[in-house]
Structure 1
Amino acid sequence: MLRLAAELTVAGAVLPSAVLLSVVLLSGAPALADDVRGGQRPVIDTLELREAWRSTRGAGVTVAVLDSGVDPRHRDLAGSVTVGRDFTRGANPAGVPPRRLHGTYMASLIAGHGHGPRGRFGVIGVAPEAEVLSVRVILEDEEPGFREFNSAARFENVVARGIRYAVDRGAHVINMSISKELATKEERAAVRYAISKGVVLVAAAGNEGALKTDGAAGFAPYSYPAAFPGVVSVGAIDRRLRRATFSNWNSSVLVAAPGVDIMGAGPGDAYWVGQGTSQATALVSGVAALIKAKYPAMSPPLVVQALTASATDRPPGGYDTGTGFGVVNAARALAEARRLARHTETATGGQAQDPAAPVGAGFRGPITVVTRDRTAVTVYATVAAAAATGALAALASMFALVRRVRRAQSQQDA
């Protein structure tokens, strides 16, 4: 079963979900929108976004949000969202519109640009100048087609299809704030395809952290697509920068990001606050977008290295299953990416190696291909074979002579 990493509480009503999450609906009023930016301050400070934005704000990068859909008309996202394919079509009864709550929330954390004078109000995302490609691959738990979606075989590989769709439409980063218990070969192949095209994939580690598979020595369940090799699996931390109690802890976790009391946008110019590895994942996708904006040719493995090598609040020993290599830091990740980029570019200038010149004292100039005369090759091969035969004969004669000498010495000694 595909799951959204959120349970939403709206105006006192609890919406069913697989994960315990408290979310409060704020108003779309400008005064409260101003409060939203203030509520984002802990995240902005933890990720050092102000410092990162001096270098880039994500322009030129497209982040595909594989989720429940994104509201393109929200004032904090307007003009930045392209609505892509809906792979859940047919699950809901005809005429039922998608709610797009979770997807809008995630998109705002990645690429929200705020609104009002100089965008000072509302949600500011990690990469506020990035573009969002909305790809619907899951339903909100309360949508009428939810049960059909999670039981019908035709929807089994919507994530795999969504990944390929996003890659083929130019996504640089794919955010997947979703999880499922079982993997498919189609999903694994889609992940491999995306990475081969230079796309960075980021996914939620899951919110079953209170569960263990093997008693006190166990670990939380693995979630997919986060647990696939090559995917950045993200755990959540609380305000004290410790693993949030709900966040899955296992060896798939690569990095962590804030995931408690996270402000975000909802459909219809609403605002929300909630918790989950979904939110942490969106924040890390935003940092990956900043890296790709600054260094477009950087490969997914190097982007991952920049994220992990620059992480702060590293656990003892450098890694643990709760927060991975530590807490993602946008400013430091960009600095690390800059260092890595220096080693992936071709040197130029007076000190650079001339590609036309030999390395060391080798032959100068291009390599030439010689066409061989078959008759000459046969003759040379025959000569070589004869020479080899003669050499072997001479060697045999030498060994025979040595044996005779040793035999004669032995007879004399006797």
Structure 2
Amino acid sequence: MIRRLVSPAVLVTVLVAGLIPAGAGPAAAEAPRGWEQQVMKVPAAHRLGQGKGITVAVLDSGVMRDHPELRGRVTAGPDFIGGGAEPGRPYWGEHGTAMASSVLRVAPQAEVLDVRVLWDEEDPARKRAEQAAESGGPADEQSVKAAGALAEGIRYAADKGAQVISMSLGSDEWSLGSDYDELTASAVDYALGKGVVLLASAGNGGSTDPLEVDANNTVAYPAAYPGVIAVAAMGPGGARAEFSQVHTYNQIAAPGVDIYAADNGGGYRMGNGTSPACALAAGTVALMLSRNPGLTPRQVRDILLRTAQKPAGGYNVFVGFGLIDAAAAVRAAGAAGKSEIEAAPYKGDEYFGDGPVAPPTTNPPIDMSYVAVGGAAAGVGLLFLLGAALLMRRPRARRVPGPPMSGPPMGGPSMGGPSMGGR
């Protein structure tokens, strides 16, 4: 997750992982180990491609490159967020190691580029940044550095030739400021312009449990940036995972419950979240690009959506266009031709279509005699209006009452009764 903290001096972005331990929440039967491979049809996809020649940049909390599952498959990139943590610490690479593992489980011949832009949940640097922001004092140098880490990581990965960028992180639902960031939005556009496919987790605040403190379901970035493929999480039963955030920008879904992945301590662990869902989706994209390296980001997205195992109605805000079908996506990628959308100079005629159908029309000159007559008539009309206004303003004569009448009313004989005004 990305938690944005506000101080008087600067908006500070603190990056927070979005992986939920498998033991969190109500007790439930554990899903079969590796169930995600089966429902995504990964074994069938491996017969068509395994990600060879494709680099997936994992923008996260660091990757333990000497883990038995990852050794020789990860290239070290820079640490853009810093904070003093080093490999071997329990709070260094906990989240990132698991995400790299999930990517490579789907695309075993791909290469992971490790770019550190994220603090793990228990990292002391994250806690210091939170305390500094909450105190209302000026942001320290470390917090300012953290604010630009994600944007720098995206640009670095694009410049280093990564074809896929996996971002298992999202804006915290308890943020105190706007999570939209101009620097990150610009970096997303930069990477898209280089043909890089970007994916991000939808967020873990989608619970409807009133006791769940993170159940705010707010807009999450970078998933909400245009051009980024937002990945929701599904459970073993095929429905949205209860924590997966619900938004109209959700485009696709992948398994996110009881996902078995590498641990930064050297073993393995289970975890839940939209984070592993994003990593699994990124691995699928690596398979697609190894089958057809010429695919554009738009083509990749369209193929994923078209080949997905769709929900009733074809789309909903819970899981987007449905669960990824890796085998169908890789087959479609191999059959896709070159994108027809490209900029080209116009080399046709002077006019679009058939051009003008007749010469431009001209109007005869105005007859000034009509103008003079019209002006005179307007003047006479104005005089009449002024006269009428003056007449309306003249005072009326006041009527003076006369003495009471003693006889019958004027103009008619007596009706046999008393006259008006007396007997």
Q: Same fold (TM over 0.5)?
A: yes
- For 1:21 and 1:3, locate their aligned partners in 2 and report how far apart those are by CA, in whole Å: 19
Query: Is the aligned partner of 1:133 residue 2:113?
Result: yes
Structure 1 regions of 5+ residues with no counterpart?
Answer: 15-19, 24-35, 112-124, 346-361, 363-387, 397-414
Q: Deviations over 1:182-239 (max 9, x none)?
A: 12000100000010000000100000002599xxxx9821111001011010000011
Query: Is the aligned partner of 1:159 residue 2:150?
Result: yes
Query: Is the aligned partner of 1:270 residue 2:267?
Result: yes
- How big is the shift at 1:283? 0.4
How many residues matched? 315
Q: Which residue matches 1:92?
A: 84
1:22–1:275 CA contact under 8 A, matched in 2: no
Cα RMSD of the aligned pairs, angstroms, is: 3.3
Q: Which residue matches 1:116?
A: none
- The aligned amino acid for 2:149 is V
1:240 to 1:212, Cα distance in 2 relative to 1, 3 A: closer
- How big is the shift at 1:7? 3.8
- The aligned amino acid for 1:153 is V
Structure 2 regions of 5+ residues with no counterpart?
Answer: 4-14, 134-142, 173-178, 342-347, 349-358, 365-423
Query: Is the aligned partner of 1:292 residue 2:285?
Result: no
- For 1:70 and 1:103, locate their aligned partners in 2 and report how far apart those are by CA, in whole Å: 5
Query: Is the aligned partner of 1:63 residue 2:56?
Result: yes
Q: Which residue matches 2:70?
A: 77
- For 1:235 and 1:21, locate their aligned partners in 2 and report how far apart those are by CA, in whole Å: 18
Q: Which residue matches 1:191?
A: 188
2:19–2:276 CA contact under 8 A, matched in 1: no
- The aligned amino acid for 1:260 is V
Q: Which residue matches 2:235?
A: 238
- For 2:192 and 2:252, locate their aligned partners in 1 and report how far apart those are by CA, in whole Å: 19
SS of 1:39 mapped into structure 2: coil
Q: TM-score, normalised by structure 1?
A: 0.69
- The aligned amino acid for 2:18 is A
- For 2:209 and 2:153, locate their aligned partners in 1 and report how far apart those are by CA, in whole Å: 31
- For 1:212 and 1:319, locate their aligned partners in 2 and report how far apart those are by CA, in whole Å: 24
SS of 1:341 mapped into structure 2: coil
1:11-90 map, 5 Å? 20=24, 39-40=33-34, 42-89=35-82
- The aligned amino acid for 1:168 is D
Q: Deviations over 1:19-53 (max 9, x none)?
A: x5799xxxxxxxxxxxx9x711x111111111111
- For 1:84 and 1:197, locate their aligned partners in 2 and report how far apart those are by CA, in whole Å: 19
- The aligned amino acid for 1:101 is E
Query: Is the aligned partner of 1:174 residue 2:170?
Result: no
CA radius of gyration, larger in:
2
Which of these residues, 332, 338, 352, is aligned with residue 336 of structure 1?
A: 332
- The aligned amino acid for 2:33 is G
SS of 1:316 mapped into structure 2: coil
- How big is the shift at 1:93? 6.7
- How big is the shift at 1:315? 2.2
1:282 to 1:55, Cα distance in 2 relative to 1, 3 A: same
- The aligned amino acid for 2:318 is G
SS of 1:162 mapped into structure 2: helix
1:198–1:300 CA contact under 8 A, matched in 2: yes
1:149–1:155 CA contact under 8 A, matched in 2: no
Q: Which residue matches 2:247?
A: 250
Q: Deviations over 1:323-375 (max 9, x none)?
A: 00110111111122234326659xxxxxxxxxxxxxxxx9xxxxxxxxxxxxx
1:7–1:21 CA contact under 8 A, matched in 2: no
Query: Is the aligned partner of 1:4 residue 2:17?
Result: yes
Q: Deviations over 1:89-145 (max 9, x none)?
A: 2x237999552111010001101xxxxxxxxxxxxx100000000011111111211
Q: Which residue matches 1:114?
A: none
- For 1:323 and 1:206, locate their aligned partners in 2 and report how far apart those are by CA, in whole Å: 12
1:95 to 1:323, Cα distance in 2 relative to 1, 3 A: closer
SS of 1:317 mapped into structure 2: coil
- For 1:43 and 1:77, locate their aligned partners in 2 and report how far apart those are by CA, in whole Å: 19
Large movers: runs of 4+ above 4 Å: 20-23, 93-98, 342-345
1:21–1:274 CA contact under 8 A, matched in 2: no
1:8–1:21 CA contact under 8 A, matched in 2: no
Identity of aligned residues (%): 38
- How big is the shift at 1:284? 0.2
1:21 to 1:69, Cα distance in 2 relative to 1, 3 A: farther
- For 1:199 and 1:94, locate their aligned partners in 2 and report how far apart those are by CA, in whole Å: 29
1:77 to 1:21, Cα distance in 2 relative to 1, 3 A: farther
- How big is the shift at 1:307? 0.6
2:87–2:93 CA contact under 8 A, matched in 1: no
- For 1:87 and 1:21, locate their aligned partners in 2 and report how far apart those are by CA, in whole Å: 33
1:288 to 1:94, Cα distance in 2 relative to 1, 3 A: closer
2:49–2:330 CA contact under 8 A, matched in 1: no
Q: TM-score, normalised by structure 2?
A: 0.68
- For 1:138 and 1:330, locate their aligned partners in 2 and report how far apart those are by CA, in whole Å: 28
- For 1:132 and 1:93, locate their aligned partners in 2 and report how far apart those are by CA, in whole Å: 21
- For 1:21 and 1:49, locate their aligned partners in 2 and report how far apart those are by CA, in whole Å: 28
